[in-house]
Amino acid sequence: GGVGKTTIARLVYEAVKEKFKVSCFLENIRELSKTNGLVHIQKEILSHLNVRRMIFVIFMMGKKIIANSLSNKKVLLVLDDVSDISQLENLGGKREWFGPGSRLIITTRDKHLLKTYGVDMTYKARGLAQNEALQLFCLKAFKQDQPKEGYLNLCKGVVEYARGLP
């Protein structure tokens, strides 16, 4: 991780969410599913749909409620940091869950997961080029886009160590 997938997804989400009847950004699904379980995340989706709090304990019940609530609605759903196919199946469901014009954005470290799920289009976030990384580092460290005098080699070393990650 660390290349900026969540940041890119968040920017896209913020730019287009007004065009959808329902929008939901679920961040850090990898950790949330470990600590709270998928049922908790399903309830989070339902809260964005203004569905009354329902008590359900089994994934399948949550899947059905989400599918019924989303059908015929134009939905923007972001599932961030997905690590397992069961997370996609229980949270993102099937295309039939969503109304026309809906979009599902998935961030993951595992491109095979996207193929297994049948994702149509992918975007591979890349690390920064050396000069971009140096400029970003200097903006954060020195509040200017180049190193202060005498710090060039140190800055280059830090940027090289980070290998293009912001």
Domain ranges of the chain: 5-117, 130-162
As to burial, measured by CB atoms within 10 angstroms (0-12 exposed, 13-18 middle, 19+ buried), residue 74 is middle
pLDDT one-digit tens code per residue, 33-88: 998 888 888 878 877 766 555 554 445 566 677 767 767 789 899 999 999 999 99
The answer to whether residues 84 and 108 touch, using CB atoms and an 8 Å cutoff, is no
Whole-number pLDDT of residue 53: 52
Tell me the pTM.
Answer: 0.76
| CB distance 152 to 160 below 8 Å | no
- CATH second-level architecture of 5-117? 3-Layer(aba) Sandwich (3.40)
If we measure between CA atoms, which residue out of 139, 79, 147 comes closest to residue 114?
79
The pLDDT of 25-37, averaged and rounded, is: 92
CA distance 39 to 41: 5
Among 82, 89, 83, 86, smallest CA distance to 67 is for 89
For the chain, where are the E strands, in sequence order?
22-26, 75-82, 103-108
pLDDT on residue 108:
96
Number of H helices, E strands in the chain: 8, 3
